[in-house]
Amino acid sequence: IQMTQSPSSLSASVGDRVTITCRASQTLSTYLNWYQYKSGKAPKLLIYAASSLQSGVPSRFSGSGSGTDFTLTIRSLQPEDCATYYCQQSYTTHGWTFGQGTKVEI
């Protein structure tokens, strides 16, 4: 399964609404997760099963979608949200597949 994210990078201001999309090459139902990667730190699970917020993650993060099209939204961008975001499918029994990432800058 191929995962295609867009955009590959974006620049936004503090307080902006940011949307990242992820498209799968075949249907995933809702087996889609989102992660935040920061250099030198452990990756962080943000959203699982397409729209469920992981415990401890700020509510400004949300996910939506099903089938092949998914979205990660940051409702009000904060400075600490500067990171690279990856979608990941957990549908197949052949292992995880990740998107190529979206780098978010302030």
Task: Note the residues at the interface with another protein (CB under 8 A).
Answer: 31, 33, 37, 40-45, 48-49, 54, 86, 88, 90-101
Closer CB to another protein, residue 17 or residue 27? Answer: 27
* Phi, psi values for residue 5, rounded to 5°: -105, 150
Q: How far is the CB of 42 from another protein (least distance, A)?
A: 4
Cα dist from 84 to 44, 52, 67, whole Å: 11, 20, 23
Closer CB to another protein, residue 71 or residue 88? Answer: 88
62-80 core/surface letters (b: 16 or more CB in 10 A; e: else): bbebeeeebbbebeebeee
Q: How far is the CB of 13 from another protein (least distance, A)?
A: 27
Q: How far is the CB of 10 from another protein (least distance, A)?
A: 17
